Amino acid sequence: MFGFEWNKEEERQALIEISEARGEAHGKISTLRDLLADGLITLDALKATGRYSPEELDAISKL
Protein backbone atom coordinates (compact mmCIF):
# COMPACT_ATOMS: atom_id res chain seq x y z
CA MET A 1 0.00 0.00 0.00
CA PHE A 2 1.02 3.58 -0.55
CA GLY A 3 1.73 5.87 2.34
CA PHE A 4 -0.13 9.01 1.35
CA GLU A 5 -1.41 11.72 3.60
CA TRP A 6 -3.61 14.39 2.05
CA ASN A 7 -2.71 17.91 3.04
CA LYS A 8 -5.40 20.47 2.32
CA GLU A 9 -3.01 23.45 2.50
CA GLU A 10 -0.53 21.85 0.07
CA GLU A 11 -3.35 21.12 -2.35
CA ARG A 12 -4.63 24.70 -2.09
CA GLN A 13 -1.15 26.11 -2.71
CA ALA A 14 -0.62 23.83 -5.71
CA LEU A 15 -3.94 24.92 -7.22
CA ILE A 16 -3.01 28.58 -6.71
CA GLU A 17 0.34 28.05 -8.45
CA ILE A 18 -1.31 26.28 -11.38
CA SER A 19 -3.86 29.07 -11.70
CA GLU A 20 -1.15 31.75 -11.64
CA ALA A 21 0.88 29.93 -14.29
CA ARG A 22 -2.18 29.69 -16.54
CA GLY A 23 -2.91 33.37 -16.00
CA GLU A 24 0.64 34.35 -16.90
CA ALA A 25 0.53 32.26 -20.07
CA HIS A 26 -2.83 33.74 -21.03
CA GLY A 27 -1.52 37.25 -20.41
CA LYS A 28 1.56 36.64 -22.55
CA ILE A 29 -0.52 35.25 -25.42
CA SER A 30 -2.99 38.13 -25.15
CA THR A 31 -0.18 40.69 -25.27
CA LEU A 32 1.45 39.07 -28.28
CA ARG A 33 -1.93 38.93 -30.06
CA ASP A 34 -2.34 42.66 -29.47
CA LEU A 35 1.13 43.35 -30.86
CA LEU A 36 0.34 41.24 -33.94
CA ALA A 37 -3.00 42.98 -34.45
CA ASP A 38 -1.33 46.39 -34.19
CA GLY A 39 1.32 45.37 -36.73
CA LEU A 40 4.17 45.88 -34.29
CA ILE A 41 5.46 42.32 -34.68
CA THR A 42 4.99 39.48 -37.14
CA LEU A 43 4.34 35.81 -36.54
CA ASP A 44 7.49 35.03 -38.52
CA ALA A 45 9.50 37.22 -36.16
CA LEU A 46 8.06 35.37 -33.16
CA LYS A 47 8.86 32.00 -34.75
CA ALA A 48 12.42 33.13 -35.47
CA THR A 49 13.10 33.83 -31.79
CA GLY A 50 12.68 30.17 -30.89
CA ARG A 51 11.11 31.22 -27.57
CA TYR A 52 7.63 29.91 -28.26
CA SER A 53 6.36 26.37 -28.61
CA PRO A 54 4.24 25.39 -31.61
CA GLU A 55 1.22 25.33 -29.30
CA GLU A 56 1.90 28.88 -28.11
CA LEU A 57 2.41 30.10 -31.67
CA ASP A 58 -0.86 28.46 -32.69
CA ALA A 59 -2.69 30.15 -29.84
CA ILE A 60 -1.06 33.50 -30.64
CA SER A 61 -1.96 33.31 -34.31
CA LYS A 62 -5.69 32.86 -33.61
CA LEU A 63 -6.78 36.48 -33.75
Per-residue pLDDT tens over the stretch 35-54: 999 999 999 999 999 998 89
41 in Cβ contact with 35 (< 8 Å): yes
* Domain contains 58: yes
What is the tally of structural domains in the chain? Answer: 1
Q: What is the pTM of this model?
A: 0.64
DSSP conformation class of 40: S
* Domain contains 3: no
61 lies in which domain range?
34-63
* Domain contains 11: no
> Which pLDDT score is estimated for 45?
94
DSSP labels, 11-35: HHHHHHHHHHHHHHHHHHHHHHHHH
